Structure 1
């Protein structure tokens, strides 16, 4: 849907013209999986799928939330605080509004229309996209003076405390601070980051949605967190460290005998080596060495498949096919795993063929089709000039 079409939708919904238009992308994590809670580095980037948000003031001092994607609507007056209501999509902007008023920021009624093309539940951060879009737009329109980092922390609080989901800060950070043709090498603990060149040349970033419901992800996620805690405790018998990612592979190999549980040992091995792969990946991208970056992507997936055991047959099948296609530079699962998405770097002029062949291969093995999208590494949240 084009911006002009969205403006027509806004006119139809509210009988007035949109005053301002904003866009916030979704994100993928290029490499560095399941190490954010181990003090390690992640490498997300913003993509050109995301959330568009149009707004205009009204004279009724009411917030009217509408979406092109959902029939549910919500109207509520300006109040001193707000509460989550059910599971509908509008709780995300409502949570942002709650933070503004609880912080003592003065607001006035707005008509607001959203449109998103991030596949819901795919692991591409549709929720962070709508949270940051709303926080950024309200901050700009009401001139409230929050820094971008403060908006990121606010959006994370919305996710954790208003919506009630225990997630880290990577998603909100990536969609806010993303830059075109750049990956963000981010320490989720300190929030220190470095924008790394991620120029894909004549390639596109393919996103493969397995279309598998992610029912196991939360319980298995918590299980992995606990296993890493066990590994850390064992290593702390001889090492003065706070996180598994405080050590390199050499140090780990010299002290791995302290971890007596074979499964816990495999989890720690993935964490330490994956953190090193992020650093190597940053070097490869800085040198425009996509072949080396692709090798690291495959190595990351193999570790997530065999050592961390969070991929599953659907994600493995997507990567398995990608390895056989000469137009693919590298591929891996991205996100928590157990469904969700994989990513691949694919020659742009071969994308359609790659997509068709992958869908055929996957469908024959899994029994239903994945969804395959071509994206680029794009900029973070911004206002669109009318």
Structure 2
């Protein structure tokens, strides 16, 4: 793969790449829609991801090319940039803009080539992968001196302010700090985290792409963020709390009467209970209690369906099938929802049987097939050896 990318880079830019980098995608094992509420999440990096090859040029232009999209970006060197339309290269352009805002001045032009094997719009964080990858690569190549946490915060700021999606920090954090065969238990308020062994024993993590794409900035994601902020404001009439996940279910029940809007109450109830589930899930993984972990996955999905209302018929069809398939012990949507992916704890040796019967059931209910694949839990963003032909 790297040699093929080198050939494309050479053909397109008429020079060899000077450096090569990789950033993974991520799945969130449990703890959904609570990252922007200061809660605990349990993501892991996966072995699918995004590659970046780069080299300076002498033409005073920043050039973006992706092997996944037709659109190419060409920008003259300037002190700042603004988002232009909905093209993919706004993500790395936003990173460059933010780095320049921190005092970096690009003295020469720059050629960048991206390739990713994360399904676009699937909920596996292809956009955050590009952001963290670009920030890490430029920081490393130009020796800018930012640590990894600074790059995570910078990438989140790009997502929020340059792109316009009010997401939390989980995606960028998992992509930067992920470790092979480990899950991260991340406190999204303090950014403190623990590493949890993710030994799945006789099970594997199956990823099921519903093949229903969604654009977060065009979805109801921002609406859910606003509803949670409304719930928090109502609770603050009576108690001193900075985010919803400072409350456990018991304390929330004492004050939930302050939330008059029934829909907003449902959203807040999910947030508080989901945060509690992450605590329980970490204990289950540490104890090797995979069936309990699977039960919590199902409970998480049910809450996202009934209280947070972000699943939809496609994701529900996948999880409903898993509940009735004897060799799956847990399943849930992962990511923001509104389409995208689900994950399942599937017994080893049943991959083909699972794919066959899930496909039949899904096509009957939805009308087109889902994509089913397995990725190992992998490392976070890193530099790779420069490929040589």
Q: TM-score, normalised by structure 1?
A: 0.92
Aligned counterparts of 2:260 and 2:58: Cα–Cα separation in 1: 67
Aligned counterparts of 2:261 and 2:78: Cα–Cα separation in 1: 54
> Superposition RMSD on alpha carbons, in Å?
2.2
Q: Note the residue ranges of structure 2 that are not aligned, 5 or more in a row.
A: none
The aligned counterpart of 2:210 is: 210
- Relative to structure 1, the CA distance from residue 257 to residue 179 in structure 2 (aligned partners, 3 Å threshold; closer, same or farther) is same
Residue 144 of structure 2 is aligned to residue 144 of structure 1: yes
CA drift at 1:18: 2.0
Aligned counterparts of 1:308 and 1:125: Cα–Cα separation in 2: 20
Q: How does 1:1-386 map to 2 (within 5 A)?
A: 2-107=1-106, 108-214=108-214, 220-236=220-236, 238-259=238-259, 261-386=261-386
CA drift at 1:194: 1.5
Measured against aligned partners, the alpha-carbon deviations of 1:152-205 in whole angstroms (never above 9, x if no partner) come to 111122222222322222211111111111112112222222222112234332
Q: Note the residue ranges of structure 1 that are not aligned, 5 or more in a row.
A: none
Aligned counterparts of 1:55 and 1:168: Cα–Cα separation in 2: 28
Could you list the structure 1 runs, at least 4 aligned residues long, displaced by more than 6 angstroms after superposition.
none
CA drift at 1:26: 0.9
Comparing 324-333 and 252-261, the one that deviates more: 252-261
The answer as to whether partners of 1:22 and 1:137 remain within 8 angstroms in 2 is yes
- Relative to structure 1, the CA distance from residue 382 to residue 216 in structure 2 (aligned partners, 3 Å threshold; closer, same or farther) is closer
- Relative to structure 1, the CA distance from residue 217 to residue 99 in structure 2 (aligned partners, 3 Å threshold; closer, same or farther) is closer
The answer as to whether partners of 2:228 and 2:264 remain within 8 angstroms in 1 is yes
The answer as to whether partners of 2:122 and 2:211 remain within 8 angstroms in 1 is yes
Comparing 251-260 and 177-186, the one that deviates more: 251-260
SS in 2 for 1:372: strand
- Relative to structure 1, the CA distance from residue 112 to residue 298 in structure 2 (aligned partners, 3 Å threshold; closer, same or farther) is same
- Relative to structure 1, the CA distance from residue 80 to residue 361 in structure 2 (aligned partners, 3 Å threshold; closer, same or farther) is same
Comparing 67-76 and 293-302, the one that deviates more: 67-76
Aligned counterparts of 1:346 and 1:90: Cα–Cα separation in 2: 36
- Relative to structure 1, the CA distance from residue 170 to residue 215 in structure 2 (aligned partners, 3 Å threshold; closer, same or farther) is closer
Aligned counterparts of 1:164 and 1:302: Cα–Cα separation in 2: 29
